[in-house]
Structure 1
Amino acid sequence: MNTVEWSESLLLDFPPMDEVHHTFVDLLALAQTAPDETLPQAWSAVIDHTVRHFGSEDEWMKRTRFAAADNHIMQHKVVLNVMREGLALARAGNMAAVREMAGELAAWFAKHTQTLDAALALHMRSVQSEVPVRRTHRTSAHPASAP
């Protein structure tokens, strides 16, 4: 299984995005190592964070008329839908499927960050003086206290 771990290769030099990505990695890592009895809650914490994470990026793209927004936003929607299906599987007791999904999500996230998000971060740095960006704050990655 692909595991997720924060590394310098995920840094995009755009702090609002880097912070939310670091929290995502922390939460996904917790889900990947969660025992079966807490996996549904850990996976739910990943989803809750991802809804806000993708929502912020989608808002930035729309507000700044980012050229590649349509494809990027569509990827976000598809991934969130699959993650929600995973939560239903976890609640039904199919932990193996959710663990496989978590590994695939880890691999997807690394590629997504280094391609689509890297382009968005470059764009956001270029327009940051024109468009104020609300900074997100890193929160605890513990599922019980995750935002």
Structure 2
Amino acid sequence: MPLVWSEAMSLEMPAMDEAHEDIVDQLALVETASDDNLLDAWNALIDETAEHFAEEDRWMQATGFAPDNCHSSQHAIVLKIMREGAEKCAKGDLAIVRQMAYELTVWLPHHVSAMDAGLALHLKSVGFNPETGQVDKPEALPTTALTSCRSEPCEDHAD
């Protein structure tokens, strides 16, 4: 059953919520794609996901995260795996992409509720405007680079 966007996934940060909703919609297109359209739908999902991850990574960099923080690292790993799936799908292994799509329906809500929720909280705490890239509360920026996701499940974050 395809993942469906709901307000329960909202982080009350429109730029993030809209991007997450777009990814959920694209993921549903992958899950319902015919065999003939699967690779194109998967590649569109990769493009949508890569764009959103890059945007979040830019926000993290602008607000004091270390370049190799755990959130950005997770983005890189997920994209690498998705791209490997595209390569296998292009060679005829459609089942791998169908399995990956299912796994993403499980992973994405957890990522949003943990890592992205922590990021949203951080961005709000420093007054970050995703539209302009401006930080309204520079005094609230961390004094040392953050390496963790800043979410509750992550124990090694700087306070």
Tell me if both proteins adopt one fold, taking TM over 0.5 as the criterion.
yes
For the Cα contact (< 8 Å) 1:14–1:121, is it kept in 2? yes
Distance 1:35 1:104 in 2: 18
Alignment match, 2:130: 133
- Larger Cα-atom Rg: 2
Cα deviation, 1:86-129, whole Å, max 9, x if unaligned, reads: 1111111111111001000111111000000000011111223x
How large is the RMSD of aligned CA atoms in angstroms? 1.8
Higher relative contact order (CA closer than 8 Å, sequence separation 6+): 1
Alignment match, 2:99: 100
Alignment match, 2:45: 46
For the Cα contact (< 8 Å) 1:66–1:123, is it kept in 2? no
Could you tell me how far 1:75 is from its partner in structure 2?
Answer: 0.3
Q: Give aligned pairs, total.
A: 132
Distance 1:134 1:87 in 2: 32
Q: Does 1:18 find its partner at 2:17? A: yes
Cα deviation, 1:58-87, whole Å, max 9, x if unaligned, reads: 0101110147x7000000000000000111
Structure 1 segments unaligned to the other structure (5+ residues): 136-147
Distance 2:61 2:35 in 1: 39
Alignment match, 1:90: 89
Alignment match, 1:57: 56
Could you tell me how far 1:132 is from its partner in structure 2?
Answer: 3.4
| TM-score after normalising by structure 2 | 0.78
Distance 1:9 1:89 in 2: 34
Structure 2 segments unaligned to the other structure (5+ residues): 133-159
Superposed structure 1 runs of 4+ greater than 6 Å apart? none
Q: Percent sequence identity over matched residues?
A: 46
More helix by share: 1
Q: Within 5 A, what are the aligned runs for 1:108-119?
A: 108-119=107-118
